[in-house]
Amino acid sequence: MSTSIAPTRPPETSPLQARFASLRARIEGLVVGQERAGGRLLLALLADGHVLLEGAPGLAKTRMARLLADSLEGEFNRIQFTPDLLPSDLIGAPVYDPREHRFEFRRGPVFANVVLADEINRAPAKVQSALLEAMEERQVTSGETSHRLEPPFIVIATQNPIEHDGTWDLPQAQLDRFLLNVLVDYPRAADERRILDLVMEETRRALSSEAPEAASPPLSKAELAEARRQVAGTHVSDLVRDYVVRLVAATRDDPAAVPGVGEHLAHAVSPRGALALVRTGQARAWLEGRDHVLPEDVADVAHDVLRHRIGLSHRAEADGVRADAVVARLLDAVDAV
C-alpha cells in the first residue's frame, strides 16, 4: 500500500490530547495482553460510536469496559443478556404510583453513559430491537412516549464466539451500528505471567485494606464533548477521502473487481462503513497529536471497522476465507494515492 507524505513538523500535543493519551496508557497498562483492544475503546469514545468485543470468556472484556467507565464522569451499567430478557428489562417500563394515581416511567439500565451489554447475542429479537433504537437514535420508546438518553452514550457489547446454544445471530442492521468490531484473543505466555502478577497484587491490596494507587481525576463530560468537537474538526484531505471511497467501493467491484474480494462477499460495505473509517481515522489522528488524518490512520482501523460490515459468501466459507483476509486483500490492492 502506498503511503502519504509525512507531517512536516512534529505534532504539538494539547493539554486535552495529553489527558486522553494518559487515559489510553492507563487502560492499556491495566489490561495486559489486550492493549490494542483497550485503545480501540478510547477511539470509539472519541468518535461517538459503539463497540462489539468478540472473544472467549476470561479475556478482560468486562474489565476494559469498567476501566473506561471509571475514567469518565457519568454512570456505568452492566446488563447480562439472557434468552428470557424482555425489552422492559432493558429500557424500563411505566409503574403505577398509587399516591399520585398515575403511571410513572421507571428508567431501565440502558439509561447510563457507558452500557456494557454482556453476551449480547443471547437476547431475543424484541430486546435487540429496543437496543438498536437506543444505539442509533439515542432514545428509547415505551408505549407512545420516547425518552432521550443523556450524552455521552456508548454501548460496549460482548459476544462469545465459542458457544452457540441459546444464542441468536445479530441482524446485519444492528451489526452495522457498531462503529468497531474488535477481536479479543488469548494473551501470550509472557503477558499471562504479567496478568497473574497484576491481579495478585490487586487482590493483596484489597484484602489488606491498602489504599489503591492514586488515579487521575475522571474526565468530565465537558472535556469529552470538547475532545469530540476537536476530533470532528480534524482535517481529512481529498486524498484520504478518495482513499476511503476506493476501499469501500472495491467491495462492490467498483470500478473493477479486486481478486480475492468480490467473489467472497455476499454483500458489500455500505456508506456507513466509509463514514466509520473517516470518524475512527480522525479519532486516531487526534489521539496521536495530529490535526490531520493520514492514510495510515485509515489502514490501521480498517479491520475493526470493516470486518463486521461485509457478509461472506458460501464460497468464502467453503474456502475457509475469513473477513480479515478479505480486508487485508483490500488494503493490499487499493493504493492510498
User: Please, which pLDDT band fits residue 224 given cuts at 50, 70 and 90?
Assistant: very high
Cβ-based neighbours of 317, under 8 Å, separated by 6 or more: none
Task: Report the pLDDT value the prediction gives residue 2, as an integer from 0 to 100.
Answer: 44
**DSSP secondary-structure letter at 159?**
E
Answer yes or no: is pLDDT of 150 > 90: yes
What is the location of CATH 3.40.50.300 in the chain?
31-207
**DSSP codes, 245-260:** HHHHHHTTT-SSPPTT
Q: Which CATH architecture does the domain made up of 31-207 adopt?
A: 3-Layer(aba) Sandwich (3.40)
Q: What is the distance between the alpha carbons of residues 272 and 108, in angstroms, rounded to a whole number?
A: 29
User: Please, which pLDDT band fits residue 7 given cuts at 50, 70 and 90?
Assistant: very low
Averaged pLDDT score across all residues of the chain: 90
CA-based nearest residue to 294, from 2, 6, 12, 1: 6
Q: What is the distance between the alpha carbons of residues 16 and 20, in angstroms, rounded to a whole number?
A: 7
CA-based nearest residue to 333, from 244, 261, 255: 261
Task: Report the pLDDT value the prediction gives residue 9, as an integer from 0 to 100.
Answer: 43
Q: What is the distance between the alpha carbons of residues 286 and 232, in angstroms, rounded to a whole number?
A: 9
> pLDDT per residue over 102-124, tens digit each?
888 999 999 999 999 999 999 88
Task: Report the pLDDT value the prediction gives residue 1, as an integer from 0 to 100.
Answer: 47
Cβ atoms of 24 and 42 within 8 Å: the answer is yes
**Sign of the torsion angle spanned by Cα atoms 69, 70, 72, 75:** positive
CATH superfamily entry for domain 233-333: Magnesium chelatase subunit I, C-Terminal domain (1.10.8.80)
Cβ atoms of 337 and 324 within 8 Å: the answer is no
Answer yes or no: is pLDDT of 154 > 90: yes
What is the location of CATH 1.10.8.80 in the chain?
233-333
